[in-house]
Chains A and B, each alone.
Chain A
Amino acid sequence: MSQKLPDANLTRRALLTTGGALVVSFSLLPSLGLAQAPPADTVSPQPSPPQPLPGSLKTSPMLDAWLRIGADGSVTLFTGKSELGQGIRTALTQIAAEQLGLAFAAVKLITSDTQQTPNEGYTSGSQSMSDSGTAIMHATAQAREILINLAAEKWGTAADGLQAKDGSVAAPDGRKLGFGELVAGQTLSVRAGSTSKLKMPQTFAIVGKSVPRVDIPGKLTAAPSFIQDMRPAGMLHARVVRPPSPAAKLLRIATSAVETLPGVKKVIVDGRFLAVVADREFRAIKAMEALAAAAEWSESPSLPKQSEIFDVLKSLPNKVYTIRDDKGPAGAVTKSLEAAYSRPYQMHASIGPSCALAQFSDGQMTVWSHAQGMFPLRQAIAELLTLPEDKVRCIHVEGSGCYGHNGADDAAADAALIAIGVPGVPIRLQWMREQEHAWEPYGPAMAMRVKADLDGDGRIATWDYSVWTNTHSTRPGGAGSTLAGQLKAQAFAIPAPQIIPQPAGGGDRNIIPLYKIPNVHLDHNFIPEMPLRVSALRGLGAYANVFAIESFMDELAVAANADPVAFRLKHLEDPRARDVVSLAAEKFGWQAAAKLGPGRGHGFGFAKYKNIAAYCAVAIELEVERETGHIRLLRAVAASDSGQAVNPDGIRNQIGGGIVQSASWTLHEAVAFDTTRILSRDWSSYPILHFAELFETVDVHVIDRPGMPFLGTGEASQGPTGAAIANAICSATGVRIRDLPLNAARIKQAIGV
């Protein structure tokens, strides 16, 4: 089954007639209320939903926001989350099919679209399964009971003993009524009830199975799958021209020569927002180059020195948020340690640069985008164009993997700002590689400092941790969050940066160590001023905080003369945390790895993502070439616990992919800049991991917890991997490197050969 790209020529009227008229919503007759809890012996270990409603039912409580059944019995599921390559299209469909007793292929899924789906904010923070998956599980379970009750009413029998299976409700005597027949004539919407009769995990036929991803066959056989593959009739190609540096001012520009180039339809100069529109793609690129050459800019230094970035950040005004200040008993301190760690600016660097389509027709702006939040994007674009929000529709279409807030929102705003000046015509705006590298919002630089005391039993008695960093999300929120809004002549102010409160946290994500420590003080030093444009990069602060915490745990283990895994277990009480740590160590062969040959090392890292999502432990073996500082990655073994594992292969793909991506961040990546310009503008000036540097093996072991809540997985392995690599390098060389990236030059320098 492959996915179809949305039809860019679809009008609102067409949508309503094809979608609305045939769709019948549920009614819930008062006598069939679901408020009563089902008998205890049929309840799964999944706790009954407490008030407020579970997952995204909190914000979208109407069942027909999530699920519609057509008169023909067709079942359409709606999610406000988006497929970003993480596989949620498949996993969410599995959950619905399971609860409704349907075949997997019988459920059609519509993803984030401001005109069709619930508003679930952003697809971020590894929350799709816990937000949308939980909502869909309860919505479809309740819908199933409504259908059963409707059948019982029609037959005049008790609902007990009736079953929903393969699109019908069936009675023990063989009678059947199709879902479509049951809902015919029903028009009422219904709020989700406070309890759901969930299926027992041991009866699951679809959830827990590695159902192949629905999007993969199409993507691998060149079916139109990505936003870049959309080609609505009459489409024109647009390109933007960006300033050469963030503070560059446009002195003058002569556009006449560009306007007469072959195929050029429009040249836009609106303050520092420059763009071209042409009939063919390569003509648009030539026009973009001509317009860039025609622009004369005045550049001035506005960036700090890269070599001094952490001093600069620490010198800027900050607001201290004390996340924890636990005072407890402490025995006599025998040893005290202190260390400082850092993470540079790093980029999302999607393989496909950002792209968007926009069309302004009959006063209505439609934008197709691969951004993470269609509803927030709609608000930003409405403000940018001074349109009411109901005149803007944003539809998610897949792009290249995004890993956070990359250029997607900006490209969407660019496309909309261009399209409003070319009414009636679909505009396809494609960023160039250099634009993605130089203008996407980076993962913020971070400085971490940690102090700890050990007592006479080799236990951590006190832990004092501080992180200094900017906000970790500048997502829209408002036209001023977009480059188009910032660059146009009548510019929008950049919104004041906000913290993301705990328990998710932003720069302080995962700042709370999961270890049992009696005295803990944690400070998040939030720096409002942003020397470079920054926002959410996969894991936000978790990657660097876990890197620091788990590196320091190894430093403390050495000081306590303890094995690093045993030292962690000594401080871990959460049984699920202990399980992933023990399983990763066992599958890795941690004890035997202590006798590795010269130049080889092994390292460990663990975290529970955001302290509320998936548990993940990673053990790594590597080899260090002392003469060059070059790393050879050998083995990675991970254990993870994502609660009820909906699609185990999908979890393995996410955890394994996160390990390789984190290895790239950890060994290579830092955005380069001088005081005027961003210097990382392509893959040679921002190197990432190549095949030659790949692990020999990566094994992921998934601990399934049937009936337990879904725990987000997409960002669970990056932090533990970074720390495991640093710890393995220390194990191989005896040298502790605390500043990312751990590249060959830095390792060679640290070894001192």
Chain B
Amino acid sequence: MVKLNINGQIHDVASEPDTPLLYALREDLALNGAKYGCGVGQCGACTVLLDGKPVFSCLVPISVVDGRAVTTLEGLGSADKPSPVQRAFIELQAAQCGYCIPGMMVRAEALLQRLPSPTTAEIRAHLQPNLCRCGTHMRIVAAVQRAAELSKSTAPQKI
């Protein structure tokens, strides 16, 4: 059994230690946020935060995750309590098929934690590892900017 710390909760998972985190999230924990896209770290659909830094969960075996904090899309917020990033993406309708968007939002969350007011250029540079095929890019960038505004307006309530 490997112990995983997912969104602040500890889980014992049955997957073998060499199993990529993506499969443990989706299969052992039935979490839908991280998506399978390429399995080789080229598209970012599976992006999660590992100790606050974005990683491709398709590449990280659970054996090296042991005990470290993993944040998935589910850890940002829920349908009832969407996070600022989720609220911004919903408000701007920043999705077409929506398959790549969870990875985009998780990566954006890492940027906003580091840089609360990123420029458009900083957002684009930060999202560079993630691919979108529907061409939703313009709305994705705008939604991250909007999320920065929403984060600031809600910041005092966070404490």
Tell whether, in the assembled complex, residue B38 and residue A682 are in contact, meaning their CB atoms are under 8 Å apart: yes
User: Which single member of A84, A222, A659 contacts B72 (CB below 8 Å)?
Assistant: A222
Tell whether, in the assembled complex, residue A282 and residue B133 are in contact, meaning their CB atoms are under 8 Å apart: no
- Shortest C-beta distance, B20 to chain A (Å), equals 7
Q: Which of A468-476, A570-578, A692-700, A701-709 contacts B (4 or more CB under 8 A)?
A: A692-700
- Beta-carbon contacts of B120-140 to A below 8 Å, as 1s and 0s? 000011011011111111110
Tell whether, in the assembled complex, residue B131 and residue A683 are in contact, meaning their CB atoms are under 8 Å apart: yes
- Given A351-B43, A682-B42, answer yes or no on A217-B131 (Cβ-Cβ < 8 Å): no
Does residue A281 face the partner (Cβ distance < 8 Å to B)?
yes
Mark out the residues of chain A between 327 and 373 whose CB falls within 8 Å of any chain B CB in the assembled complex. 349-353
Mark out the residues of chain B between 16 and 34 whose CB falls within 8 Å of any chain A CB in the assembled complex. 16, 18-20, 23, 26-27, 30-33
Does residue A324 face the partner (Cβ distance < 8 Å to B)?
no
Does residue B1 face the partner (Cβ distance < 8 Å to A)?
no
Q: Give the chain A neighbours of B99 by CB distance below 8 A.
A: 85, 226, 350-352, 399-401
Tell whether, in the assembled complex, residue A690 and residue B131 are in contact, meaning their CB atoms are under 8 Å apart: yes
Tell whether, in the assembled complex, residue A221 and residue B77 are in contact, meaning their CB atoms are under 8 Å apart: yes
User: Which single member of A401, A432, A692 contacts B134 (CB below 8 Å)?
Assistant: A401
Tell whether, in the assembled complex, residue A228 and residue B35 are in contact, meaning their CB atoms are under 8 Å apart: yes
Does residue B93 face the partner (Cβ distance < 8 Å to A)?
yes
Mark out the residues of chain A between 187 and 241 whose CB falls within 8 Å of any chain B CB in the assembled complex. 212-213, 215-226, 228-229, 231
Q: Give the chain B neighbours of A649 by CB distance below 8 A.
A: 93
Q: Which of A69-77, A650-658, A732-740 contacts B (4 or more CB under 8 A)?
A: A650-658
Q: Taking CB as reference atom, which chain B residue is nearest A348?
A: B133
- Shortest C-beta distance, A677 to chain B (Å), equals 18
Q: Which of B63-71, B78-86, B111-119, B149-157 contacts A (4 or more CB under 8 A)?
A: B78-86
Mark out the residues of chain B between 40 and 88 whose CB falls within 8 Å of any chain A CB in the assembled complex. 40, 42-43, 45, 72-74, 77-79, 82, 86
User: What CA separation (Å) do A283 and B20 show in the bound complex?
Assistant: 11
Tell whether, in the assembled complex, residue A213 and residue B39 are in contact, meaning their CB atoms are under 8 Å apart: no
Q: Give the chain B neighbours of A692 by CB distance below 8 A.
A: 124-125, 128
- Shortest C-beta distance, A569 to chain B (Å), equals 28
- Beta-carbon contacts of A640-664 to B below 8 Å, as 1s and 0s? 0000000001000110111111111
Does residue B97 face the partner (Cβ distance < 8 Å to A)?
yes
Tell whether, in the assembled complex, residue B19 and residue A282 are in contact, meaning their CB atoms are under 8 Å apart: yes
User: Which single member of B18, B43, B135 contacts A656 (CB below 8 Å)?
Assistant: B135
User: What CA separation (Å) do A260 and B37 show in the bound complex?
Assistant: 29
User: What CA separation (Å) do A683 and B44 show in the bound complex?
Assistant: 11
Tell whether, in the assembled complex, residue A84 and residue B105 are in contact, meaning their CB atoms are under 8 Å apart: no
- Given A223-B32, A430-B36, answer yes or no on A351-B135 (Cβ-Cβ < 8 Å): no
Tell whether, in the assembled complex, residue B36 and residue A660 are in contact, meaning their CB atoms are under 8 Å apart: no
Does residue A12 face the partner (Cβ distance < 8 Å to B)?
no
Tell whether, in the assembled complex, residue B134 and residue A683 are in contact, meaning their CB atoms are under 8 Å apart: no
B20, B42, B93, B105 interface centre (most CB from chain A within 10 Å): B93
Q: Give the chain A neighbours of B32 by CB distance below 8 A.
A: 222-226, 229
Q: Give the chain A neighbours of B78 by CB distance below 8 A.
A: 221
- Given A220-B102, A683-B42, answer yes or no on A282-B16 (Cβ-Cβ < 8 Å): yes
Q: Give the chain A neighbours of B79 by CB distance below 8 A.
A: 2, 217-218, 221, 223
Does residue A688 face the partner (Cβ distance < 8 Å to B)?
yes
Does residue B95 face the partner (Cβ distance < 8 Å to A)?
yes
Tell whether, in the assembled complex, residue A691 and residue B45 are in contact, meaning their CB atoms are under 8 Å apart: no
Tell whether, in the assembled complex, residue A225 and residue B128 are in contact, meaning their CB atoms are under 8 Å apart: no
Does residue A398 face the partner (Cβ distance < 8 Å to B)?
yes
User: Which single member of A222, A282, A682 contacts B31 (CB below 8 Å)?
Assistant: A222
Tell whether, in the assembled complex, residue B27 and residue A220 are in contact, meaning their CB atoms are under 8 Å apart: no
Q: Give the chain A neighbours of B31 by CB distance below 8 A.
A: 222
- Given A401-B134, A432-B39, A691-B141, answer yes or no on A221-B82 (Cβ-Cβ < 8 Å): yes
User: What CA separation (Å) do A401 and B97 show in the bound complex?
Assistant: 5
- Shortest C-beta distance, B48 to chain A (Å), equals 12
Q: Give the chain A neighbours of B133 by CB distance below 8 A.
A: 349-351, 400-401, 403, 661, 688
User: What CA separation (Å) do A381 and B139 show in the bound complex?
Assistant: 39
User: Which single member of B18, B27, B43, B136 contacts A653 (CB below 8 Å)?
Assistant: B136
Q: Give the chain B neighbours of A697 by CB distance below 8 A.
A: 138
- Given A220-B90, A661-B135, answer yes or no on A352-B96 (Cβ-Cβ < 8 Å): no
Q: Give the chain A neighbours of B101 by CB distance below 8 A.
A: 219-220
User: What CA separation (Å) do A330 and B139 show in the bound complex?
Assistant: 49
Does residue B8 face the partner (Cβ distance < 8 Å to A)?
no
User: Which single member of B37, B40, B42, B95 contacts A352 (CB below 8 Å)?
Assistant: B37
User: Which single member of B33, B72, B90, B124 contacts A212 (CB below 8 Å)?
Assistant: B90
User: What CA separation (Å) do A672 and B6 show in the bound complex?
Assistant: 41
Q: Give the chain B neighbours of A282 by CB distance below 8 A.
A: 15-16, 18-20, 23, 27
- What are 22 A-B interface contacts by the 8 Å CB criterion? A220-B89, A221-B82, A224-B32, A226-B35, A280-B27, A282-B16, A282-B19, A351-B45, A351-B132, A352-B37, A353-B37, A400-B100, A401-B97, A401-B134, A433-B38, A433-B40, A659-B135, A683-B42, A692-B128, A694-B137, A694-B138, A697-B138
**Chain A residues within 8 Å of B, Cβ to Cβ:** 2, 84-87, 212-213, 215-226, 228-229, 231, 262, 280-283, 349-353, 398-403, 430, 432-433, 649, 653-654, 656-664, 682-684, 688-692, 694-695, 697-698
**Chain B residues within 8 Å of A, Cβ to Cβ:** 15-16, 18-20, 23, 26-27, 30-33, 35-40, 42-43, 45, 72-74, 77-79, 82, 86, 89-90, 93, 95-102, 105, 124-125, 127-128, 130-139, 141
Extra 20 A-B pairs, beta carbons < 8 Å, given A212-B90, A262-B16: A85-B98, A215-B98, A217-B82, A220-B90, A221-B82, A281-B27, A282-B20, A349-B133, A350-B133, A352-B99, A401-B97, A402-B97, A433-B38, A433-B40, A658-B135, A683-B43, A690-B128, A690-B131, A691-B128, A692-B125
